[in-house]
Chains A and B, each alone.
Chain A
Amino acid sequence: MASGDKLDGAQLIDFYRRMLLIRVFEERSAEQYMLGRIRGFLHLYNGEEAIAVGAISSLQPTDYVVTHYRDHGHALAKGMDPNAAMAELFGKATGCSKGKGGSMHLFDLEKRFMGGHAIVGGQLPLSTGFALASKLRGDGDIALCFLGDGAINEGEFHESLNLASLWKLPVLFFVENNLYGMGATVEQMLAFHDEIYKFANGYKIPSVRIDGMDVLKVREATQEAIAHVRGGNGPFLIEAMAYRFRGHSMADPAEYRARSEEERWRMRDPITTFGASLVDGGTATQEELDEIRTEVEEIIDAAVQFAEDSPFPEPEALYDDVYGGM
């Protein structure tokens, strides 16, 4: 455990609850997608929950989080109301973005969740901007920027790391390496694929590779990285090894990878393994964990009901929020 991060039982159980909230949100989203209530693209985060929860729980509320299109987990971990998130997926007026954004474009300014951004790599320059604003104002906030292994191939990754390093910007780049960019393996698409975190060193940014399936390891590494970043030492990069249990999106049966590979990773499910460790360590009983699942399911079922009951945006809303006032 990182120095200064003494977690009590209640906090550990809270991590479990937060991960489970994301998992159940995704399970229910998939069901609603199959029912046709959620349309377009739906990219699920199943399997990567330890990253969102371990990393974001280490932040201050005023720190910025920005991410890619697989954004439900990060949004919920940053505190977005599940009702507003689910309603957005339904395209309802009560959604966080009033139904204008959809699954890939969740935003919650009050929580400083600065968006799901659906153009691969596009969130990286924005993250340096959030960090620059904070640095210029001297308000001490940092930016946490999630990206996938696929984004390493984009020029914006390299431009942003360089700028962040040159200007010592308070930004933590967090690579979720889930081994696939849509259907292509990281080996196929990235020449220097086996040690992605070392790309950072080319920009004189310290970096580390960690196990992204273990919430406590993610938390520990993030806290160390944050101490570096908030201390005015410039950016840091974490590469977390992880796996998405489902296809790239709901439209993807993942025929490009072996079921045996999926099974191997599912054995390391970040929620079940963490739950088992809580029981083994005497922090919680299985009954308590079951109760948490029931509570979480109630929250998400209520979110689905809220989304279902909410109105679609009125036609008059079409031209709202294209431009601001003068």
Chain B
Amino acid sequence: MNCWECGAPGAAMFCEGCEAVQPPDPRLDHFARLGVEPRFDQDPDALSAAHRALQRRVHPDRYASAGDRPRRFSMAQATALNDAIRVLRDPLRRAEYMLHLRGRDVGAEGEGRVQLSPAFLMEIIELREAVDELDGPDAHTERSRMAREVAARFEGMLTALGRRLDAGDDDLDAMAQLAAQLRYLRRVIDELQVDDGPGDWT
């Protein structure tokens, strides 16, 4: 893109010539926006640091007395950076985003809907019924045990999915299946954590 201010070509976040802040480049994906490798395997601290460093440069305080355009563009840059980190710092969302970049939408409805096997759905129903039925003196211990078990399975499957993504696996269907299953498992984990409140202290 050419700089809106001085017309110099190839302007990124800031123009190399006049240093004016540019509007977010719509061609950048979240990885490129944060300047990190488009991989599943990411160091969470490095991701946050990259986000923070860029965010500092477009902080509203810097543009408080700037003109209307730089103020708007810096705000848009800040929003785009936040969108990027929100997706990338969550490993499951990061994996889904990588599939999305390759043309597969895990949350698609209608035609492109990811089909889950009845066996897996049965397992999820049974897991959720087991959560509903937690009761009695051992309920708390049992809930913790289930939470650990499901979380371990979630982590294992997520790691496997990440490896396949980073290895350039072409089986998008299988990977979308995995991601969809992970969504369901996360639901169960959330469920196990939500109800894990009052019982502790009443």
A and B bind: no
- Tell me the A residues contacting B by CB distance below 8 Å: none
